[in-house]
Amino acid sequence: MMAITKSGRIATFALSCGLLSVPGVALAAPKPPASVYRPTDSSGDVRGVGTESQDIIAMADQMVRDLLTVPALLNAKTPPRVLVDPSSFKNQSSEIIDKALITDRILVGLNRAAQGRVMFISREDLEDIQAERDMKRKGLVDKGTTGQTAAVAGVDYALTGRISTRDAVNTANGQRSRYTQIMFRMVDMEYSNIIWSNIFEFKKEAGDGGVVYR
C-alpha cells in the first residue's frame, strides 16, 4: 500500500489548481434556483425598500373598504359615475412603479363590492368607444341593444392620488431606508370638492443589496 506523504498531498493540490487554469477546462456554472410560487400578499426572498406585492394588496384592500363607507358614493339616489384611472395618479417618488397595479386593484374591488350602486367610467378605452359610436351613426353597424346617447358619460367623481418617498442611505455601511406615502382623494369633478381622502404609508430598511424594481 502506497503512503501519500505531505509533499505528495501538496503536489496533488497544486496539480488540481493547475488544472483549473488550463485553457479549455471550465468549471460548471452554478445552477440558478428553480422558480417558486409565493403568496402575493407576503414577502419573498427577494426584498428591498421599494413597493412590493404585499404593499399593493394591503393598500388597495384598505382603500376599497374605506371608500365603501363614503355616503356620497353609496347612498346616492342615482348611482354616481366614478373614474378610477392610473393617469390621475402622480408618481413623485424615487421609485419606478406601474400605477395601474394600484388603480386596477381598487377599481375591481370597488366594482365588485358596489353591486351597481356606483357606475365606473372608462376613459382608457375612449378611442375604441368613439370608433364604435361613429360606426353606429354611419350605419356600418346596427344600434346595439342599449340605445344611443348624444355623448359619452360624464364623470361625477374621480379617484386621484400622489406617490411620494423619502430616502436615506448610511454611507458607512450601505444601509438604506425608504419612507413611502401614497395619498388618495375622491374629487368632485364639477365643484372640485374632495369628498374623501386617505393615506397609506410604510417604511422599510435593507442592507446594501442588488434588488432592482421594474
Is the C-alpha dihedral spanning 67, 156, 85, 121 positive or negative?
positive
Strand (E) or helix (H) holding 71: helix 71-74
pLDDT of 108 reads: 95
- What does the DSSP assignment read for 125-191? THHHHHHHHHHHHTTSS---SS---SSPPP-SEEEEEEEEEEEEE-TTT--EEEEEEEEEEEEETTT
Q: Are 49 and 205 in contact (CB under 8 A)?
A: yes
pLDDT of 20 reads: 47
> For residue 187, what are the β-bridge partners?
158, 194
pLDDT of 205 reads: 85
| CA separation for the pair 180, 94 (Å, rounded) | 10
Residues in the chain: 214
The pTM (predicted TM-score) of the whole model is 0.75
Q: Are 195 and 188 in contact (CB under 8 A)?
A: yes
pLDDT of 176 reads: 86
Q: Are 198 and 65 in contact (CB under 8 A)?
A: no
pLDDT of 15 reads: 46
Residue 211 pLDDT more than 90?
A: no
* DSSP conformational letter for 3: -
Confidence grade of residue 174 (pLDDT, cut at 50, 70, 90):
confident
Residue 210 pLDDT more than 60?
A: no
Of 90, 94, 98, 105, residue with least CA distance to 204: 94
38-72 residue pLDDT tens: 766 666 655 667 788 888 999 999 999 999 999 99
Question: Which carries the bigger pLDDT value, residue 34 or residue 71?
Answer: 71
pLDDT averaged over the chain? Answer: 84
pLDDT of 214 reads: 53
User: Considering only 92-96, 133-137, 174-178, 199-203, which range has the smallest mean pLDDT?
Assistant: 174-178
Question: Which carries the bigger pLDDT value, residue 149 or residue 211?
Answer: 149
The mean pLDDT of 11-28, rounded to a whole number, is 52
Domains and CATH numbers, the chain: 49-143+151-206 (3.40.50)
Is the C-alpha dihedral spanning 181, 182, 186, 187 positive or negative?
positive
Q: Are 27 and 19 in contact (CB under 8 A)?
A: no
Of 38, 41, 70, residue with least CA distance to 58: 41
pLDDT of 46 reads: 56
Residue 189 pLDDT more than 90?
A: yes
Is the C-alpha dihedral spanning 103, 107, 108, 113 positive or negative?
positive
The mean pLDDT of 112-140, rounded to a whole number, is 94
